[in-house]
Amino acid sequence: MPLKRTTSDDPLQLNLTPMIDVVFLLLIFFMTATQFAQVERAVELELPTVGSDGTSVAAVEEERVVSVSAEGVVTLDGVPRSIDELKADLQAAKEASTAIDGPAVLIHGDSRCDFQHVAAALTACRAAGIANVGVSVETSDTIRR
């Protein structure tokens, strides 16, 4: 008794194009995310710690990062600046901004630095006309005293 063999002329093929597209999109995403994270890692800071009640994080389209190190060195997006240069750069950024309120500024102040340096950066933001200013802190359930 002869057995039937089902064979097809075309072997089964797997379409890899969608999988390759997904891999490329993931690659682009991670490359871009790494570039944005490098600005914040350029300066070694120990952020102040606050309680987790009442804290919120808002997403913004245009954000400038001002870092104040423990020694009082002020950087704008990883580039060291004096307070006068910071004010001038922020004024230029506000004029070039497409947002109504101008760019958002996030200040990373090291918890070991004098508050005077952070206050000077806040004053430079106010003098430049920046309305959207935030101060970065670490949140925890218990506050160190």
* CATH value at residue 75: 3.30.420
3-state secondary structure of 58: coil
- pLDDT value at residue 20: 94
End-to-end C-alpha distance for the chain, whole angstroms:
90
Report how many domains make up the chain. 1
Strands 79-81 and 74-76: antiparallel
Amino acid residing at 125: C
Q: Is residue 79 part of a domain?
A: yes
Per-residue confidence at 9, pLDDT binned at 50, 70, 90? low
Residue 8 in any domain: the answer is no
- pLDDT for residue 5 is more than 80: no
- Of 6-15, 56-65, 80-89, 90-99, the range with the lowest mean pLDDT is 56-65
Residue 125 has pLDDT above 70, yes or no: yes
Between 22 and 140, the more confident residue is 22
Residue 12 included in any domain: no
**What is the predicted pLDDT for the residue at 140?**
60
Please compute the mean of the pLDDT values over residues 17-44 and round it to a whole number.
Answer: 79
**Do residues 45 and 110 lie in contact, with contact meaning Cβ atoms separated by under 8 Å?**
yes
pLDDT averaged over every residue in the chain: 77
Return the pLDDT at 60.
47
Range of the domain at 131: 43-140
H-helix or E-strand containing 135? strand 133-136
Domain annotation covers residue 94:
yes
Of the two residues 82 and 46, the one the predictor is more confident about is 82
